[in-house]
Amino acid sequence: MIIILALTGSLTGPNHLFLPRNLSHMNATAANLQACPRGLYEIDQVCLLTENFSKLQAVRDFLTQHTSPSDSIGVFPYQNIYGFVARRQVAGEVLQHYAAAGDYLSSRQIESLRKVQPAWAIYSAEPWQSVTMGEVTGFTRTPYIWLYWQRWYKDELDPYPGVMLLHRDAERGRRWSMTSTSLLTRPLSNVHQGEKILLRGTPSGDDFDFIKIDLQADYPWWWKLGKPSGFVVRLHLENGEDRSVRAIVQPNHPYEVWIYPWEKAQLANYFSPNMEEWRSGDRPRVQSLWFESWPVDWISVSPSRVTVRDVQAVKLLLQPSSK
């Protein structure tokens, strides 16, 4: 055994990682990790392009000045890196908001946010600072979490285009309300793909904010052997334009699909302290809608039946201040 070990050592030599010259090189590399190449800037021992560095530095410096290390912060939709660089815990039982789709996880996430009530939250607006997960917007994927932030938080500072520092505003939350108006005369059963649903008395774009669809998509039993197909809601607007909004729907279960019918970039306006600034840009009236399935891949299964219980126009309001 001793002879074998001696031969192995003489023929192969020590591992190159443990040679003195390589140990010295690794130590030097670790010591110079903060020396970034030209055009890159270091934060937390990572070299970043100017844009990413500027965003992280601005948010980190603000949170360091306005919160304590024991404070939690909010993040929407998924940029937990702000908590990492600022050494602050990100509020919420579910690690990423986009994973909290569905009634159970959504309610758990909102309840945990209510308990913590972080003083500050970072909102990364689509399409500038967030990408849609699976082409489903953060609002449509987790509408009630978005509504929680919109109700209780207002835009305080925009340190970078599309990055908004939201401050908790208890008075705003108390003044906030939501109303809805039904746009159907009766529930619709067995709605076929491409079958247009005419909407009765849709308000003008300046008088409502969202379309909420109460539905159930029933899938054949073999969907569990594959996966449910994606869900597409198509809207026809009074200016002749057709829009497509991708959504997720829980199979064989009552579900609410929330849609913002216009440019998703305008959703950032809803965090303004001034309600008059919420509704801006071109907002043509929605006249009709229809559904289509969207196969994700070859094992995707389309729904066999869609029942629409109601379609509602939803409006957000701030009641007059008591001051």
Would 33 be classed as within a structural domain? no
Find, among 147, 149, 145, the residue nearest to 123 by Cα. 149
The number of residues making up the chain comes to 323
Show which of 121, 146, 174 is a domain's final residue. Answer: 174
Would 29 be classed as within a structural domain? no
Would 185 be classed as within a structural domain? yes
Strand ranges of the sheet holding 210-218, from the earlier edge strand across to the other edge: 176-182, 305-318, 210-218, 255-259
Answer yes or no: do 310 and 210 share one domain: yes
Q: How many domains does the chain have?
A: 2
Report helix, strand or coil for 264: helix
pTM: 0.86
Rounded Cα distance between 218 and 161, Å, is 42
Range of the domain at 50: 41-174
Find, among 182, 127, 117, the residue nearest to 151 by Cα. 117
Q: Residue 199's domain is classified under what CATH number?
A: 2.60.120
Contact 233, 291 (CB under 8 A): yes
Rounded Cα distance between 27 and 18, Å, is 12
List the structure tokens of 193: 């793909």
pLDDT tens for each residue of the chain, 323 residues long:
444 434 334 333 333 333 333 333 334 333 334 588 988 999 988 899 999 999 999 999 999 999 999 999 999 999 999 999 999 999 998 887 777 677 888 899 999 999 999 999 999 999 999 988 888 999 999 999 999 999 999 999 999 999 999 999 999 999 999 999 999 999 999 899 899 999 988 888 789 999 999 999 999 999 999 999 889 999 999 999 999 999 989 999 999 999 999 999 999 999 999 999 999 888 999 999 999 988 888 999 999 999 999 999 999 999 988 76
Rounded Cα distance between 99 and 146, Å, is 13
